[in-house]
Amino acid sequence: MIDLYVCGDMGSSQTKILYQDAKASEPSYLLMPPHVEQVSAAALNRFFANRGWLGVTTPMQQAWITVDKQHFVVGAFAEEFDPADRLHELKYENALYKVLSIIGIIVQTLNLPTSQPLNVKLAVLLPWDEYSDRSRFLDRLQSMVSSFQFRKQVIQVKLQQLICRPEGGGLAELWREKMGAEWFDNQKIAVLMFGHRNTSALVSDNGSLKLGESPRYGFSVLLDQIMMMKSGLNRDILAAAIFSGMQSAQVKRSTHVFAKHPDWQKLDDIRSLATARDNALKEAEIADIIYAINVATADYWDKIKRWLDRILPKDLREVIVAGGAAPFLEPELEEYFNCSPHYNSLTNEFSYYTSRIPSQHQTDIIWGTNLGKEVDNLLKVKWRQNDIFTHRLVDAFGLFNFMLLKASEASQQAAAEAEARKKAQSEAKKAEAKKKAVAKKAQAKQAPNENPSPSVPAQAKQAPDENPSPSVPEPGKQSSSPVEVKENSNG
């Protein structure tokens, strides 16, 4: 029996987790900072000695593991130990420690028993450029989860299934589930994931994966260029200001309007990045920030466009787009794929695309937010109405849904096989009973021949007279006849 289903997207900007206890009727999710740091036992002890008075914290707030006598702090807790910038490290190595801490968080949050090993089904998304390392990742993970400590609690896990897919694989599975395998396997489709560190692409032709790439063209490239042009900015604060500003700048679209970048000058989130106290200096600083954003956006899109020109087929039918940075590039992507959007004037919801230039090929864009709505229906979960949030989670949604579907199919198949075995056993019993009945009947027919009656003398076979006289016994012999001889009363 499976105790826990877990799916993880180990992103560089955020760790996204979906999980479901086997007894639960619907899944839950976790969002964690991406940090992982190895620390000494002495450093941990000093921290707890200095901060012990703060009281009890949740597993999410203080996630740390011990494995092979080494200690790792994960997520928000790692920020207490001055985490290093790990954008240039391999995701899959840090993913090992994240998976262990995630299982520990879930175990302590749900108060799952740990007296016996937990049976877990796990699915993980990795960048395409690390997907070739999945065997190494899986082998090492199997060893590490067999026994580790989370916040000093010993946890043992048996991985009953481990699914590993490249980033974008969850989106592809969602679209395949929605459109049907027969349709999907006869199309030329691409998946684009715009993340913080990587931008990933998968190209499927007639159901077969033809190409995968995951260069480090993530949103951090744009942020780094802005910070090079304007000093004093923090990457995380800058990213939060850009996306918060985009969210607040969303306006009701009419029936037919192209996407465009907001007027950064009017956004309080962007203006708040300026730190000068003098008004004139502050306005100049704001102007420098906006100029840096515009220049960096143009350079970043130029890099992305040249990459797309190289990897994507010209006759692509559909492209599925998601990832936290995807909404930022909506204007450029709609133009690149020759898409003219149409919106419902009453609900402001997207309806469909037509060709922006009718004489040119159009590739339909399938936004991850639209697939996110499908996931809401599939998993019966109400998620917050936030496009950026959905863009970040939808890939993990897709892989989690795929894992549950496979588990359901396996359960149904096992039930069908059990029913078939039960039926076969019943039929076998009936056949055996019938066989025994036939044998018994045949034995009964053979019984008179096997035990013949004693032969009767020939004279005994003669027919008796119609009025036979009673036999009289010879003198001195007792009659064996059943006929009772009575004395004559007139004697």
**Domains along the chain with CATH numbers:** 1-166 (3.30.420.40), 199-377 (no CATH)
Q: How confident is the model at residue 155 (pLDDT cuts 50, 70, 90)?
A: very high
Which pLDDT belongs to residue 194?
A: 94
Which pLDDT belongs to residue 280?
A: 94
Q: How confident is the model at residue 472 (pLDDT cuts 50, 70, 90)?
A: very low
Q: Max Cα separation, the chain? A: 166
Q: How confident is the model at residue 489 (pLDDT cuts 50, 70, 90)?
A: very low
Q: What is the mean pLDDT of residues 261-265?
A: 92
Closest CA to 321 of 195, 178, 184: 195
pLDDT(256) > 90: no
Based on its alpha-carbon atoms, the radius of gyration of the chain, rounded to whole angstroms, reads 40
Q: Is the pTM of this model over 0.85?
A: no
Closest CA to 95 of 138, 53, 52: 138
When comparing pLDDT for 356 and 351, which is higher? 356
The answer to whether 7 and 162 have CB atoms below 8 angstroms apart is no
Residues 104, 100: Cα–Cα separation, whole Å: 6
Q: Which residues of 223-239 are buried (b: 16+ CB within 10 A; e: fewer)?
A: bebbbeebeebebeebb
pLDDT(452) > 80: no
Which pLDDT belongs to residue 288?
A: 96
Closest CA to 357 of 335, 331, 329: 335
Mean pLDDT of the chain: 84
Sheet with strand 36-39: strands edge to edge: 36-39, 70-74, 63-67, 148-150, 153-155
Positive/negative CA dihedral, 276, 280, 282, 287: negative
The answer to whether 333 and 318 have CB atoms below 8 angstroms apart is no
H/E stretch holding 195: none
pLDDT(320) > 70: yes
Torsion of CA 302, 308, 313, 317, to 10 degrees: -100
When comparing pLDDT for 390 and 272, which is higher? 272
Positive/negative CA dihedral, 229, 299, 130, 95: positive
Q: How far does Cα 69 stand from its chain's mean position?
A: 31
Whole-number percent of the chain with pLDDT over 70: 83
Q: What is the mean pLDDT of residues 23-42?
A: 89
When comparing pLDDT for 12 and 310, which is higher? 310
Map residue 81 onto helix, strand or coil.
helix
Map residue 34 onto helix, strand or coil.
coil
pLDDT(470) > 60: no
Whole-number percent of the chain with pLDDT over 90: 47
Which pLDDT belongs to residue 485?
A: 39
Q: What is the mean pLDDT of residues 187-198?
A: 92
List CB contacts of 439: < 8 A, sequence separation 6 or more. Answer: none
In a 13 Å sphere around the CA of 438, the CA atoms on its Cβ side amount to: 6
Closest CA to 171 of 322, 27, 383: 322
Q: How confident is the model at residue 251 (pLDDT cuts 50, 70, 90)?
A: low
Q: What is the mean pLDDT of residues 310-334?
A: 93
Which pLDDT belongs to residue 307?
A: 97
When comparing pLDDT for 350 and 100, which is higher? 100
Q: How confident is the model at residue 128 (pLDDT cuts 50, 70, 90)?
A: confident
In a 13 Å sphere around the CA of 21, the CA atoms on its Cβ side amount to: 12
pLDDT(461) > 60: no
Positive/negative CA dihedral, 186, 407, 174, 254: positive
Which pLDDT belongs to residue 454?
A: 54
